Amino acid sequence: MEPRVACQITDCVAVVTLQRPEKHNALDMAMFKAIISVQRRLAKQRDLRGVILTGAGVDFCTGIDVKSLLSDPKQAARLLWKWWPGQANMAQRVSTGWRDLPVPVMAVLQGKVWGGGLQIALGADFRFGHHDCTLSVMEGRWGLLPDMGGNLAMREQMAQDQALWLAMTAEVIDGKRSHELGLLTELSDDPLALAHAKMAQLLERSPDAIAATKKLYRRHGVPKSGRMLAAETFSQWRLILGKNQRIAVAKQQGKDRDYDPRKAW
């Protein structure tokens, strides 16, 4: 089996590529593990100056490989499990792990950036998108909430009413609208070249100043971020164990079902 994630370091910049193009880089358990493994390896490299995150093929990432992951409830449990409420679990680390690196991380986006794919991209410090890209907080279609740590970035960069709308509706928005809302840093016909050009600018600056600036913004941009990560996971467990989530899945499969009255939240 081909490795799920490739990592090539040139001149102290790592290009990390999601490598499952035949499945549109959909996230299975092997992909989760590979992303986290790369993050850990990069965190140990003191000479690293930056990361460019890409996806092979026509789409950056279409989200969770539902058939692969949800066919085994134990795998879903492993993704959500955490020893301490405020720490990131496996599902969240594929996003928050990029925030934790002391170097700038730039995501290069094309095609579909949906669900878990968007959550991964939101972990980057900057997002450069091709004009053809589409973004969606897709979890709402399955009766779930986004629980992979990307809410931290949405809370930082978007008006709350706009973030609520995207999370509630799972609406698919194009690159232009994504840029207007603050989800994309910049649009380009060649976002990879743009990322390399932007990274070259940052390489002219002190790596200590870059690391300190990122730490300052990340630590104080979202106060009590651990509480948000804990609330994501707790709420997701309640949804997964509820009947309405199963009804939402049935609706996505074309079955005409009515939702039960909502729980007390």
pLDDT of residue 232: 76
pLDDT of residue 63: 92
Tens digit of pLDDT at every position of the chain (265 positions): 468 999 999 999 999 999 999 999 999 999 999 999 999 999 999 999 999 999 999 999 999 887 776 666 676 666 666 555 556 677 889 999 999 999 999 999 999 999 999 999 999 999 999 999 999 998 888 888 887 877 888 888 899 999 999 999 999 999 999 999 999 999 999 999 999 999 999 999 999 999 999 999 887 766 567 777 777 777 877 887 888 888 888 888 889 888 888 887 8
pLDDT of residue 76: 67
**Separation between Cα atoms, residue 1 and residue 234, nearest integer Å:** 35
Q: How much is the pTM?
A: 0.86
pLDDT of residue 83: 54
**Separation between Cα atoms, residue 147 and residue 82, nearest integer Å:** 13
pLDDT of residue 82: 55
**Separation between Cα atoms, residue 175 and residue 135, nearest integer Å:** 7
Map residue 15 onto helix, strand or coil.
strand
- DSSP letters spanning 206-244: -HHHHHHHHHHHHHHHSTTHHHHHHHHHHHHHHHHTSHH
**Separation between Cα atoms, residue 216 and residue 168, nearest integer Å:** 31
- In the chain, where are the structural domains located? 5-189
pLDDT of residue 73: 63
pLDDT of residue 75: 66
Q: Express as a percent the part of the chain with pLDDT over 90.
A: 60
pLDDT of residue 40: 96
What ranges make up the beta strands (E) of 48-206? Answer: 50-55, 105-109, 112-114, 126-130, 134-136, 173-174, 186-188
Closest CA to 137 of 124, 151, 155, 157: 151
- CATH classification code of 5-189: 3.90.226.10
pLDDT of residue 85: 56
pLDDT of residue 178: 97
DSSP 8-state class, residue 139:
G
Phi, psi of 52, rounded to the nearest 5 degrees: -115, 120
Reading the block at residue 265, the tokens are: 């939240």
pLDDT of residue 221: 66
